[in-house]
Amino acid sequence: MKKFHYGYMIIAAVFIDLLVCGGIFFGASGIFIVPVSTALGIGQGDFSMYLTIQSFTMAIGVMIAPKILAKFSYRMINAVATVISGLGFVLMGFAQNVFFLYAGGVLVGTGCVFLTYLIAGVLLPRWFKKNVGTAMAIAMSGLGIGGIIFNPVISFFVNAEPMLGFSESWRSAYVILGLLVIAVCLPVALFIIRDFPADKGILPYGEGEVVEATGTKIVEGVSKSVAAKSISFVWYAIMVVAFTLPGAIMTYLPAFATAVAPESGISAIIASVGNLGAIVGGFIIGWANDKFGAQIGSLVAGGIGILGFVLMIMGGGSAFILLAGSALYGIFYQLNSVQMPAMVSAMYGEREYDKIFPLGASISPWVGMVSYSLWGFLFDATQSYTIMLLAGLSCSVITCVTGILAVSASKKLPRETAEIKQ
């Protein structure tokens, strides 16, 4: 019987963090817009500004993450991030004006950098040298499942009678969510997460069972200074922009369905179908990377995105075609979670992976910060979703091309060896 590898516990830990913190973080905001804006006497634009501040905080956090990761264990970082995020939600429950919301957004954004954006990409490649893509897909499915679960849960708390002595239900909802993040994710950090396989006296999955006394190994790879200045990183950065930019289109799917197929009744489920596609997409993209490499992974995901956008553009009033297109788009949507670590590992190796991965990942929140408004302004200017979908189609093509170019160019970079912990 094959011995249980602790790497599976790391997958579970990442899954739980993404399920709870990610599900709340990405599923809560829209539900609070009306009650909070009404109660505080502010405009919805003023409320939404906290999301921009939150995204800006995350973008800065990802940029400085390499320095933090170099000094502290991820286990400790994760524990602190959990408390900070939880307190951010709690603070918003006590908001008397919009500045409380903004301060809460800073705290939530600071913590969620390490609970959502970086956790899978940092920990899983340390623990898995075989089937990394599959491990990533299993863990990242927590994000999609969390979104599906917490949307109705948050709606329930917001619409229920106020709890915990508050006079308004949205306040008690924020506090309950903050306490839930701490209650679930803090034990995960303290009792499950470990930084390296050597901490448990084993090698990464796929390399063996027992670690030598030093707990180190010799690895090969490209240095951060060389990678960051290379043409391969330029192609990679363009690719990240290309597959991150259409991500916000998910928000517009219900309105799109209402506009093009008002009698079909799919506007209520089309975004959920897209999210289900994203969950399945993680496994498809992970499998393609594990089986055929990062170039084919990019080509498969980009190709699926092309087909998805074509179906939505050409689907007319057909509910089946539109839902099929949204599901395929959902698979492409999951590139943002699975493909980045696979690309960095394939292009630059293990030597300075922990420094290079956050550098590339920092691009995503900056793009996400502007994408929601960008697509909204594009619709306002054209009064059509077709241009938006054509732009998404173009981004899918760019993803295919730049993924191939990035990996090809990286093969020409000088590689050096180094001793790292494992």
The DSSP code sequence of 67-91 is HHHHHS-HHHHHHHHHHHHHHHHHH
Same fold, 7-211 and 219-421: yes
pLDDT at 209 over 50: no
Over residues 322-333, the pLDDT tens digits come to 999 999 999 998
Burial zone of 265 (CB within 10 Å; 0-12 exposed, 13-18 middle, 19+ buried): exposed
Rounded Cα–Cα distance for residues 363 and 85 (Å): 22
| Residue 300 pLDDT | 94
Tell me the two tokens of residue 101. 């919301």
The kind and range of the H/E element at 363 are helix 363-382
Which segment of 81-85, 139-143, 236-240 scores lowest on mean pLDDT?
139-143
Residue 318 in 3-state DSSP?
A: coil
Predicted model pTM: 0.79
pLDDT at 41 over 80: yes
Highest mean pLDDT among 169-178, 253-262, 265-274, 377-386: 169-178
The kind and range of the H/E element at 56 are helix 44-71
Which segment of 7-21, 240-254, 309-323, 385-399 scores lowest on mean pLDDT?
240-254
Tell me the two tokens of residue 372. 């929601």
| Residue 1 pLDDT | 52
Beta strand extents in 334-408 (DSSP E only)? none
Residue with tokens 């933090």: 68
Phi-psi group of 288: left, alpha or beta (phi > 0 → left; psi -120 to 50 → alpha; rest → beta):
alpha
Over residues 216-247, the pLDDT tens digits come to 667 788 999 999 999 999 999 999 999 999 98
CB 220: neighbour CB atoms within 10 A? 11
Asked whether the beta carbons of 193 and 13 are under 8 A apart, the reply is yes
Residue with tokens 């075989």: 130
Rounded Cα–Cα distance for residues 49 and 250 (Å): 20
**Span 7-211 CATH architecture:** Up-down Bundle (1.20)
Quote the mean pLDDT of the chain: 87
Domain edges within the chain: 7-211, 219-421
Burial zone of 54 (CB within 10 Å; 0-12 exposed, 13-18 middle, 19+ buried): buried
Tell me the two tokens of residue 7. 């790497």
Rounded Cα–Cα distance for residues 185 and 180 (Å): 8
Residue 220 in 3-state DSSP?
A: strand
DSSP state of 131: S
User: Rounded to 5 degrees, what angle do the CA atoms 412, 414, 415 make?
Assistant: 120
Sequence-ordered list of residues with C-beta below 8 angstroms from that of 292, at least 6 positions apart, any chain: none
| Residue 211 pLDDT | 47
Rounded Cα–Cα distance for residues 203 and 421 (Å): 10
Tell me the two tokens of residue 391. 């732009």
CATH number, span 219-421: 1.20.1250.20
pLDDT at 368 over 50: yes
Q: Which of 228, 332, 229 is nearest to 282 (CA)?
A: 332
* HEC-encoded secondary structure of 201-245: CCCCECCCCCCCCCCEEEEEECCHHHHHCCHHHHHHHHHHHHHHH
The kind and range of the H/E element at 307 are helix 294-314
Burial zone of 419 (CB within 10 Å; 0-12 exposed, 13-18 middle, 19+ buried): exposed
Q: Which amino acid is at 410?
A: S
Beta bridge partner(s), residue 216: 421
Rounded Cα–Cα distance for residues 20 and 361 (Å): 21
Rounded Cα–Cα distance for residues 396 and 390 (Å): 10
CB 248: neighbour CB atoms within 10 A? 21
Tell me the two tokens of residue 53. 């501040």
| Residue 261 pLDDT | 84
Rounded Cα–Cα distance for residues 184 and 195 (Å): 19
